Chain A
């Protein structure tokens, strides 16, 4: 949009603050200035300009802005309208941002991975054409809901828009299975397989160290007795409050019992048991990952 106020020489706009010599507002004719427009006609023109003043994006020259503010300082009606406009914008702006669930991106990525598209978007012959082809007439022509969307591609390369034969498709899938499995795992958890295994190993080592050395046992035991004392103390305090206090007291005393039991168990566990526990954890992690990998491979073949 052209600047409607550019043609105004700055000197014509000076000294209008007191409403004595109003500047030409959009649509105002030159000859009107001499006779002096009625206040309602002036107000109408001022009100036309208020949205531009509110946006303050260079559409209105500083001189014109000064003039408009001058009018607002003496005209209660226009000032009220401007104030309301500002309030509306503020109210909209303070609506705040709605929050998404934490794992939302995973949900989207799972859909992309599993090749699901919305029911209405997938045409019936989708199975015969495993690659997505969304026609777009220009670079900015984003796909509309009514544009044909063929079933999403089975390999993650949107750039290839050819139609492979079924046998070729199978070969590509076979080749990509291992890559995709790794990607799947990464997408679902954000952690790579080797990172997980390293972490599990490290945790097992730390645990073994804690459980096998005397010092570790002492630290663990001391912590647990400290915890028990703390629980008891809270229980005692809360016991003074009727009903709710009693409930909490029961809960905390149960927890302190658990603490006791754990402490005893750790003390009675020998080095052998500790080592066994660590090994168990590592073994479980290994079996779990093997199982997950296998299941995912199976799923890949099943596509």
Chain B
């Protein structure tokens, strides 16, 4: 069963990659509209990575735009040995880290302050009952902040693994890191989150 499932998965990925390759080829041939297909297919994933990395919707939107512009400009250098999404993630994660570093260098407002001042949060799709959503929203807010307080590399790995649902191997390819290092980052990040989310965890355990 497992083998079958994994086989099926491989086939699906190949199909998607084939479609992507075709769209890339068409774009390179001058059909700009084909690129629109790629943007529509992947904008959500890139946006979510950016949103969880940068912490606000406005910066995330700008970063997605910049990612796709750069990808468009460098499309000729894209080879088919990685999936288009992996390549996009690579551009986006580099841009995220650059932006976070420039924030630090500029001595800009700390993230905490930005959050306090209530920069526009992204609209989230929450499929739950309205009475749950207030409590849920509060917990999600705490988790969101806890992730934003992680060091950049740990944040990237946590977001990619548990929010973007990427495998450790994929993350290693995107970040150009050995698999072992990605795992170590992941474990440390989870440990840090566990420490920071202790009050919420205790609350939940008591609730049970």
Interface residues of A (CB under 8 A from B): 1, 51, 55, 57, 83-85, 87-89, 91-101, 104-105, 107-109, 111-113, 117-118, 121, 132, 134, 136, 139-146, 149, 152-153, 155-159, 161, 179-180, 183, 186-187
Bound together, the chains give a CA A92 to CA B32 distance in angstroms of: 37
Residues of A contacting B47 with CB < 8 Å? Answer: 98, 100, 104
Interface centre among B74, B168, B194 (most CB of A within 10 A): B74
Interface class of chain B by DSSP: helix
Residues of A contacting B126 with CB < 8 Å? Answer: 96
Residues of A contacting B176 with CB < 8 Å? Answer: 140
Given contacts A99-B124, A112-B35, 8 further A-B contacts (CB under 8 A): A105-B39, A111-B69, A118-B66, A139-B82, A145-B99, A156-B30, A158-B75, A187-B33
Q: Which residue of B lies closest to A146 (CB)?
A: B98
* 0 or 1 for each of B164-183: is its CB under 8 Å from A? (1 = yes): 00011000010010111001
Contact of B73 among A96, A113, A143, A179 (CB under 8 A): A143
Rounded to whole Å, the gap between the CB of B130 and the closest CB of chain A is 15
Asked if A140 and B82 sit within 8 Å, CB to CB, the answer is yes
B111 at interface by CB-CB < 8 Å:
no
Bound together, the chains give a CA A111 to CA B30 distance in angstroms of: 16
Contact of B32 among A95, A105, A146, A183 (CB under 8 A): A183
Asked if B70 and A143 sit within 8 Å, CB to CB, the answer is yes
Asked if A98 and B60 sit within 8 Å, CB to CB, the answer is yes
Rounded to whole Å, the gap between the CB of A171 and the closest CB of chain B is 15
Bound together, the chains give a CA A155 to CA B30 distance in angstroms of: 8
Residues of A contacting B78 with CB < 8 Å? Answer: 139
Asked if A136 and B74 sit within 8 Å, CB to CB, the answer is yes
B154 at interface by CB-CB < 8 Å:
no
Bound together, the chains give a CA A142 to CA B72 distance in angstroms of: 11
With A109-B32, A187-B33 as contacts: A117 and B69 at CB distance below 8 Å: yes
With A96-B125, A100-B47, A104-B43 as contacts: A112 and B193 at CB distance below 8 Å: no
Q: Which residue of A lies closest to B144 (CB)?
A: A95
Interface size range of chain B in the complex: 35 or more
Residues of B contacting A57 with CB < 8 Å? Answer: 167-168
Q: Which residue of B lies closest to A176 (CB)?
A: B30
Bound together, the chains give a CA A85 to CA B33 distance in angstroms of: 45
Residues of A contacting B61 with CB < 8 Å? Answer: 100-101, 104
Asked if A156 and B32 sit within 8 Å, CB to CB, the answer is yes
* 0 or 1 for each of B41-76: is its CB under 8 Å from A? (1 = yes): 001100110011000010011101110111111111
Asked if A140 and B73 sit within 8 Å, CB to CB, the answer is no
Residues of B contacting A179 with CB < 8 Å? Answer: 30
Residues of B contacting A91 with CB < 8 Å? Answer: 139, 143, 197, 200
Q: Which residue of A lies closest to B142 (CB)?
A: A91
Rounded to whole Å, the gap between the CB of A166 and the closest CB of chain B is 21
B14 at interface by CB-CB < 8 Å:
no
Query: Can you report 22 A-B residue pairs in the complex whose CB atoms are below 8 A from each other?
Result: A51-B186, A84-B194, A88-B190, A88-B194, A88-B201, A89-B190, A94-B140, A97-B124, A98-B48, A99-B125, A100-B47, A104-B43, A112-B68, A118-B62, A118-B66, A134-B74, A141-B77, A142-B94, A143-B73, A152-B69, A179-B30, A183-B32
Rounded to whole Å, the gap between the CB of A48 and the closest CB of chain B is 10
Asked if A100 and B201 sit within 8 Å, CB to CB, the answer is no
Residues of B contacting A100 with CB < 8 Å? Answer: 43-44, 47, 61, 64
Asked if B33 and A186 sit within 8 Å, CB to CB, the answer is yes
Residues of A contacting B57 with CB < 8 Å? Answer: 98
Q: Which residue of B lies closest to A139 (CB)?
A: B79
Residues of A contacting B60 with CB < 8 Å? Answer: 98
Bound together, the chains give a CA A134 to CA B27 distance in angstroms of: 17
Bound together, the chains give a CA A144 to CA B95 distance in angstroms of: 6
B115 at interface by CB-CB < 8 Å:
no
Contact of B194 among A85, A101, A149 (CB under 8 A): A85
